[in-house]
Structure 1
Amino acid sequence: MQLPAWPAPLPGRSTCLAAFLTFLVGAASPDAAPGEEASPPNLVLIFCDDLGYGDLGSYGARGYETPNLDGMAREGVRFTDFYATSPVCSASRASLLTGCYHERVGIQGALGPRSGTGLSHAETTLAELLKQRGYATGMAGKWHLGSHPSQRPTRHGFDEFLGLPYSADMWPRHPEAPKAYPPLPLIDGDRNAIADVTPEDQSRFTERFTERAVSFIRRHRDRPFFFYLAPNMPHVPLFAGEKFRGKTERGLYGDVIAEIDWSVGQILRTLKETGLDDRTLVVFTSDNGPWLSYGDHGGSAGPLREGKGTCYEGGVREPMIARWPGRIPPGLVCREPASTIDVLPTIAALAGARLPDRPIDGKDIRPLLFGEPGARSPHDALFFQYLNGQLQAMRSGRWKLLFPHTARTMIGQAAGKGGVPGKYAQLAVGLELYDLESDIGETTNLAERKPEVVRQLEEKAERFREELGDSLQKRTGKAVRPPDRVSD
């Protein structure tokens, strides 16, 4: 397999225009322009855990192959500048399912088993939004938006759920804090299918969650459906199914990615077998960048700087591939900035669903998704908060601005091995400006050379702070909404 260099070569706008025009000429339904749907499409949303920007073949991965995901990219659109709102689990997932910056809905960090905090029932999830249009809704995988029974997916619009309430490393076998966590349950609906998950159980999760997705699609083939598949991989602890262990040059991490690729292939095959292929939008992305301290058990950010737990590009820029035969022209590459907060409003527009009554932050990115000529990002800026509401970074157009804070780095540190992490060093981040069009790796700070650009970006950041706050400046936003809180 020929691998792209980092960054992968991008077609010019004329290439995208040609692809778009070719698609229009050959489309099976020439009466409908992209984004104008005669009937609501099905949606399969696949949201990985700690997948790095450089972990897929179409993004430059080495040591294993991802033929199904690479096929998705050839048959659909690959985004090069797609972002999570935060470089950590719960916060990122809240944004995906609500279309809001996570601070707006009061979710921060990675919620622990005993936190008592969860997504508010006053928020409208993507599942609840689609149920208004008669969709069947299902989920398998990692939830991580509240572990109390009243906070689980079936209380937030999902008809069925098979999965984990929080991260799979929050269990008594944690390599650094084994006494900090209770037994990890596998939940089916509202009951514990397994009260105390074992390593053997974990090795079957990718297969088991895939089987649930396939079953759901087959059972609901005669009505619109939404299935949210959230693999708990490649987040540590790494486990691969027996058929995949020892199969890649990259070791266990590569084996895990190969199994995720297999999972995607099973879903695509099922859509074809059920005759739903051209009626279903499949979206694949991840919650944050790779957990670099785990070394050989962590992923790759490719050409990007740093990883999970930082707001450098490696922590928040994600692979994103979308496929919808007959609707998305094949072979598109979109280099415009977009975000997980855009998924909900875009799907709402496609399904003809009403947006939530409460303010959201995402935008309809159908023009980007369908490769419309001249389509631009609808965002004037994207913002990244971490560590209890610190506004650490923002992007506007080609410019990335980081605000002074303390981050973490593995540069100069001994890498983790075999599932035991290395130790991060602290990294002092200054006021840093990067031109991402020419410096994707954030290597040359232009803040002193471009004071006017810095000033303009800081003005945008100030407006954001008024809305959603910034703990670096000890400021609380006027539009922050409370999460759900329970106590046992």
Structure 2
Amino acid sequence: MKSSHLTAWISLSSIVGTVCFGCFGANSVIGHSPAEVQPNFVVIVVDDLGWSDLGCYGSSFYETPHIDSLAAEAVRFTNGYAACPVCSPTRASIQTGRNPARLHTTDWFGGPQPEEALRTPLSKKFRNRPLLPASYLEYLPLQEKTIAEVLRQQGYSTFFAGKWHLGNVGYYPENQGYEFNLGGNEKGSPPGGYFSPYKNPKLIDGPKGEHLPDRLANESVRFLENQGDDPFLLVLSFYSVHNPQQGRIDLIEKYQAKAANLVTAQAEFSPEGLFENRQIQNQPIYAAMMEAVDQAVGKVLTSLEELGLEENTIVLFTSDNGGLSTAEGSPTSNSPLRAGKGWLYEGGLRVPWIVKWPGSTQLGIICNEPVISDDIMPTVLELAKVQAHEKSTFDGISLVPLLKNPAVKLVRNLYWHYPHYSNQGGGPSGAVRSGKWKLIEWYEDQHLELFNLDQDIGEHHNLLRCNPKTANELHLRLVRWREEVGGQMPMSNPLYSAEEIRSR
């Protein structure tokens, strides 16, 4: 970072409570010769962004031209996954390259622990449920080495802006390797909403009415403008498009007019268990939030170009779980995928995945290989030429071979473990994807569902009876994997009475 700007940046950051400034630039580069130029990294995570919420992934209602342009210059993965159908576990996997089941961070931080589920008022909800949720850690353990900690050891400047949701005081970004933290705390949604005053102890309020996604983009640009010769990791983690549903008036009015002109014969909702699953993207406020995120992303990407950083900066773009389609207002639709956030169906797990590696990937290439958020850290570290011993404990793998040749076939399985009841209707369950096959095990009664995703992306047809051998093999793999990583299981619920439920 340029010395002339360092004092001003530290002054601004100290106002909002960021720490570790004395460490800035103190770490020496390990394993690199002076002649080597290390790449920069920008990791963009949009909260609750569904797989079909972008124009480049098929949306015709939401307008996302800047993200679409990014995809046109990058590898766009059609089978990109989050490590969990809710936020905190996936965020932990992005930071560590390790699966939430292994980390024991399997639910959103703030979700009920088993002992809490027995207390009022939660006990009223759990009386109808055969299981109590598994216990889980409500913080990312400090002994876990994060992507920021490893890159700082390589001489990188590390910056975080936006949603963290990986633990309370003592477990914030600045405690996990980030020199600068603008907005990251224990909250899963913006405490004061999307307009200033933000009521965020890690983000000083801007002028009244300032828009949060724009503010986070501006802080990211400020960091880039003050960056000198040191390589950097910039993580821009939007609170958007998580509830509450709040948008700029000009954009809301734009999409209200667009929704009024929308002609469709499709039903707006379809049943999903006891919940309704939105089938149409037509919610103006959500659309306004989407476009505001797109504009913020565009501001950061434009800054990279104007500052001459674009050609040496790798950009990774994704989401922490599928779109919110079955509860809490159901603001978006993940169609043609089934269900959404909180479910192990594709709508809850499959998310946008875009990687731009300037000069090393062809423009606008599509890759159909399944990838998962566990893969982000090992990919970044290989691109940064970090020595192999730093990468020995990952559940994910480096995607560099796919970035060089998207036709490469990976021989591996993807696994999920969610031993909880979600706010959106999903229940305790596990899943495995192997090639075209996906198997889901529901922990309440151990029943299985088997889907051929090549032929049935919407998971409408359970092929268990037609393919018992395949189902049995996948189930055995899932059980073995769960045992290997130490996945914690839900317990029987002493409050549950099947007879009482049937009598109602």
Q: TM-score, normalised by structure 2?
A: 0.73
- Report the Cα distance in structure 2 between the residues aligned to 1:222 and 1:243, rounded to whole angstroms: 40
Could you say if the C-alpha distance between residues 368 and 88 of structure 1 is closer, same or farther in structure 2, counting changes exceeding 3 Å? same
Q: Residue 430 of structure 1: which of 431, 440, 447 is its match?
A: 447
Gaps of 5+ in 2: 1-34, 114-136, 259-281, 422-427, 493-504
Residues 32-431 of structure 1 aligned to structure 2 (within 5 Å): 39-112=37-110, 117-148=138-169, 150-167=170-187, 169=189, 185-188=199-202, 193=204, 204-241=211-248, 244-248=251-255, 249=258, 250=282, 251-294=284-327, 298-354=331-387, 356=390, 359-372=393-406, 374-378=407-411, 380-388=412-420, 390-405=428-443, 430-431=447-448
Q: Alignment partner of 1:244: what SS?
A: helix
Distance 1:208 1:147 in 2: 23
**Paired residue type of 1:49:** D
Provide, for residues 235-273 of structure 1, a one-character-per-residue CA deviation record: whole Å limited to 9, x for no partner. 000223455342323411111101111111111111110
| Cα distance in structure 1, aligned partners of 2:111 and 2:349 | 24
The share of aligned pairs that are identical, in percent, is 36
Conservation of the 8 A alpha-carbon contact between 2:164 and 2:188:
no
Counterpart CA distance in 2 for 1:120 and 1:279 is 32
2:438, 2:452 within 8 Å by CA — same for their partners in 1? Answer: yes
Count how many residue pairs are aligned between Structure 1 and Structure 2.
399
Counterpart residue number, 2:15: none
Distance 1:135 1:243 in 2: 39
In the TM superposition, residue 359 of structure 1 has moved relative to its aligned partner by 2.0
**8 Å Cα contact 1:402/1:429 also seen in 2:** no
Q: Are 1:118 and 1:145, in contact at CA under 8 Å, matched by a contact in 2?
A: yes
User: In the TM superposition, what whole-angstrom CA distance separates every residue of 1:187-212 from its partner, at most 9, and x where no partner exists?
Assistant: 33xxx635xx99x66x6210110001
| Mapped partners of 1:236, 1:113: distance in 2 | 16
Determine helix, strand or coil for the equivalent of 1:137.
strand
Compared CA separation, residues 82 and 137, structure 1 to 2 (3 A)? same
Unmatched 5+ stretches in structure 1:
1-36, 174-182, 407-427, 476-488
Letter in 2 for 1:158: Y
Superposed displacement of residue 169, structure 1: 4.1
CA contact (8 A) 1:399 1:434 kept: yes
Contact 2:252 2:287 in 1 (8 A): no
Residue 400 of structure 1: how far off its partner (Å): 0.3
SS of aligned partner of 1:466: helix
Q: RMSD between aligned alpha carbons?
A: 2.8
Identify if the C-alpha distance between structure 1 residues 221 and 247 changes in structure 2 by more than 3 Å, giving closer, same or farther.
farther
Q: Deviations over 1:224-243 (max 9, x none)?
A: 11100010011000223455
Please say if residues 139 and 171 of structure 2, whose CA atoms lie closer than 8 Å, have aligned partners that are also in contact.
Answer: yes
In structure 2, do the counterparts of structure 1 residues 397 and 346 end up closer, same or farther at CA, with 3 Å as the change threshold?
Answer: same
3-state secondary structure, aligned to 1:285: strand
TM-score where L is the length of structure 1: 0.76
* Cα displacement (A) at 1:331: 1.4
Q: Does 1:449 align with 2:466?
A: yes
Q: For the Cα contact (< 8 Å) 1:383–1:391, is it kept in 2?
A: no
CA distance, structure 1, for counterparts of residue 419 and residue 490 of structure 2: 13
Q: Kindly provide the amino acid, as one letter, of the partner of residue 234 in structure 1.
A: V
Q: Assess, with a 3 A threshold, how the Cα gap between structure 1 residues 391 and 82 changes in structure 2: closer, same or farther.
A: same
User: Aligned equivalents of 2:50 and 2:228: distance in 1?
Assistant: 33
In 1, distance between residues paired with 2:72 and 2:182? 31
Report which of the two structures shows the higher radius of gyration computed on alpha carbons: 2
Q: 1:447 to 1:469 in 2, by over 3 A?
A: farther
Partner of 1:410: none
* 1:469 Cα offset (Å): 3.7
1:160, 1:278 → 2: CA distance?
Answer: 24
Residue 170 to residue 221, structure 1, CA distance change in 2 (3 Å): closer
